Amino acid sequence: MKWLTAQAAAARLGVKPQTLYAYVSRGRITARPADDDPRQSLYSAADVATLERRRRGGRGRKTVAAGAISWGDPVLESAITAVRDGRLIYRGVDAVTFASTATIEDAARLLIGYAPDARRRSPGAAGGESAKARGFAFLAARAASDPPSLGRRPEQLAAESLDLIAGLGVAFAGADLADAHLHEHLATLWRLDARGADLVRRALVLVADHELNPSTFAARVAASTGAPVAAAALAGYATLSGPLHGEASARAVLFLETALRDGAQAAVNATLARAEPLPAIGHALYPMGDPRAASLLKALAPSTPLQEAIDGAEAASGDHANIDMALAALTLDLDLPRDAPFVIFAGGRMAGWCAHAIEQRETGRVIRPRASYTGD
């Protein structure tokens, strides 16, 4: 990532230093201390370029729409999750610290904002040859049979959300383990020891929510129509299945497997020779490194060959590994099936999808943006 001095950033934007500092305080430009002088700050060149384009293009409706749709300005208000100064925060709680001891059920209660004392147990039985397929089948069945979310109290929807998470765990495992947590269902499915189960627990909480990502936005759109919470979760689950979202770890798994077989440098060279970017490296919201990845990799303590592969990718790119790389490393270290990163992502993100669905219902508004017509 490239950085600019205050003078260079202000000159590109045509503003005074005070205005530049205001952009930083409002989260529109990322800043960090300079390496050679901590009293001086450097400013993200990418953020400055984005802001420069918006200022040059004006703030008409088309400009706002084009800029907001991809890593742009916020498009709706939420009190659930924030990304601030390189930290992930769940309702005011640092997510990394929270993940050190919490379960995904704890995360769901925190993110949803309601903590029902009791919940109905769902059997979660669903057909399918893989955990991923059984998850699809379970949520589809519930979406088709559950009552709409419209007109129901948030406490009711919260209890239903916890039931959905419990049912998804049963569907993933293909067996009901009484009152087991989701990570315990997965540990049984994958035959993990206590260490492996705890790593999966941590990973689930670290991916529980991440602001307004594609799958969460899809869940909110579904919920805004009054659809069942299960339907909102199914919309998120389906969106997550895309290779540019929840399946991003698949490329990282292939990269790490190549590195383990041929060496880290050979894997880097092979990837770059195909004119492909190194997988699971860098994150637009974390210019100084993804704290979720750092937390999971520290707890995992990968084997030397795995760590060398990750280090090689970071050195070649000049950026940090993100959560997709950490999930890929977890998959190989614990010898998990290749759909494990998706299963962990989906299982953890259920908490966020349900929380956002309930928050969207509380607004009472339907999400219905306009299109800018470009046809004949």
CATH number, domain at 339? 1.10.580
Digit-by-digit pLDDT tens for the chain (376 residues) are 688 988 888 888 888 887 887 788 667 888 888 877 777 888 888 888 888 877 665 555 555 555 566 666 667 899 999 999 899 999 999 999 999 999 999 999 999 998 765 455 566 667 788 999 999 999 999 999 999 999 999 999 999 999 999 999 999 998 888 789 999 999 999 999 999 999 999 999 999 999 999 999 999 999 999 999 999 999 999 999 998 887 789 999 999 999 999 999 999 999 999 988 899 999 988 888 999 999 999 999 999 999 999 999 999 999 999 999 999 999 999 999 999 999 999 999 999 999 999 999 999 999 998 888 889 8
Q: Which of 146, 198, 245, 333 is catalytic?
A: 245
138 and 168 Cβ atoms separated by less than 8 Å: yes
Q: Length of the chain, please?
A: 376
Residue 86 falls inside a structural domain: no
Structure-token pair, residue 159: 């209890």
Residue 76 falls inside a structural domain: no
**Is 335 known to be catalytic?**
no
Range of the domain at 250: 94-376
Kindly state whether residues 215 and 317 are assigned to the same domain.
yes
Residue 274 falls inside a structural domain: yes
Q: How many domains does the chain have?
A: 2
Kindly state whether residues 46 and 98 are assigned to the same domain.
no
Q: Which of 106, 324, 339, 356 is catalytic?
A: 324
**Is 181 known to be catalytic?**
no
Kindly state whether residues 369 and 291 are assigned to the same domain.
yes
Q: Which of 283, 290, 319, 339 is catalytic?
A: 283
Residue 83 falls inside a structural domain: no
Kindly state whether residues 28 and 101 are assigned to the same domain.
no
What's the chain look like in SS3? CCEEEHHHHHHHHCCCHHHHHHHHHCCCCCEEECCCCCCCEEEEHHHHHHHHHHHHHCCCHHHHHHHHCCCCCCCCCCCCEEEECCEEEECCEEHHHHHCCCCHHHHHHHHHCCCCCCCCCCCCCCCCCCHHHHHHHHHHHHHHHCCCCCCCCHHHHHHHHHHHHHHHHHHHHCCCCCCCCHHHHHHHHHCCCHHHHHHHHHHHHHCCCCCCCHHHHHHHHHHHCCCCHHHHHHHHHHHHCCCCCCCHHHHHHHHHHHHHHHCHHHHHHHHHHCCCCCCCECCCCCCCCCHHHHHHHHHHCCCHHHHHHHHHHHHHHCCCECHHHHHHHHHHHCCCCCCHHHHHHHHHHHHHHHHHHHHHHHHCCCCCCCCCCCCC
Kindly state whether residues 64 and 100 are assigned to the same domain.
no
Kindly state whether residues 159 and 265 are assigned to the same domain.
yes
CATH at 8: 1.10.1660.10
Kindly state whether residues 19 and 132 are assigned to the same domain.
no
Residue 78 falls inside a structural domain: no
Kindly state whether residues 159 and 98 are assigned to the same domain.
yes
Residue 240 falls inside a structural domain: yes
Kindly state whether residues 35 and 181 are assigned to the same domain.
no
Kindly state whether residues 53 and 131 are assigned to the same domain.
no
Kindly state whether residues 105 and 250 are assigned to the same domain.
yes
Residue 277 falls inside a structural domain: yes
Residue 119 falls inside a structural domain: yes
**Is 245 known to be catalytic?**
yes
